[in-house]
Amino acid sequence: MALSPRFALNTFGVLAGGFLAVSAMTFTAPVAGWLGFGVSTAVTVAALAGLVLARRPAAKAGHGVLAALGLWSLVASLVFGGGTLVWLVFAAGAAFVAAALADLTAHELSTERVVHALEVRPVDSAAGSAAAAPVHDIAA
């Protein structure tokens, strides 16, 4: 079973956003600003890579939202200072978490994520067949 790149990117977005939200309230404004710059740069680069490599329009939309949020947060962390910077870094973290969770939810609710399971049942001897008949069950 392989890990979906979309799932990996969104999980990274959730973790990065949580880290930013906590660090914005924990550290001083300059430290929070530089952490916001670094994490926003990483999220932007990862989201742009996902945007380029994604094939489905829904995945492109989710990655595009994360990239736009990351770019805005990156610029805001360099332009603003003081208390404003702390709250903007916190808001960026919350926005990363919200956007990534929304994209994860959209990904799991789509019909492309239907899991197919193969179940093999033995056939009655009265039916005349000695082989097992495969039955496909669809579980959501």
2-59, pLDDT tens digit by residue? 778 888 999 999 999 999 999 999 999 999 999 999 999 999 999 999 999 888 888 8
Please check whether residue 22 lies inside any domain of the structure.
Answer: yes
Q: Is residue 129 part of a domain?
A: no
- End-to-end alpha carbon distance in the chain: 17
Cα–Cα nearest to 70, from 104, 46, 87: 46
Helix (H, G, I), strand (E, B) or coil at 116: strand
pLDDT score at 122: 73
The mean pLDDT value for 59-88 works out to 93
Q: Which domain holds residue 50?
A: 5-113
User: 127 in a domain, yes or no?
Assistant: no
Which of 41, 27, 37 is closest to 78 using CA atoms? 37
Q: Residue 44: its pLDDT value, please?
A: 96
pLDDT at 117: 47
Both tokens assigned to 83: 């208390």
Tell me the two tokens of residue 80: 């603003």
How many structural domains are present in the chain? Answer: 1
d(CA 43, CA 103): 14
On whether residue 134 sits in a domain, the answer given is no
Residue 124 lies in a domain: no
Q: Which two tokens stand for residue 92?
A: 């960026």
Q: Is 96 among the domain residues? A: yes
Any domain includes 139: no
Q: Is 27 inside any structural domain?
A: yes
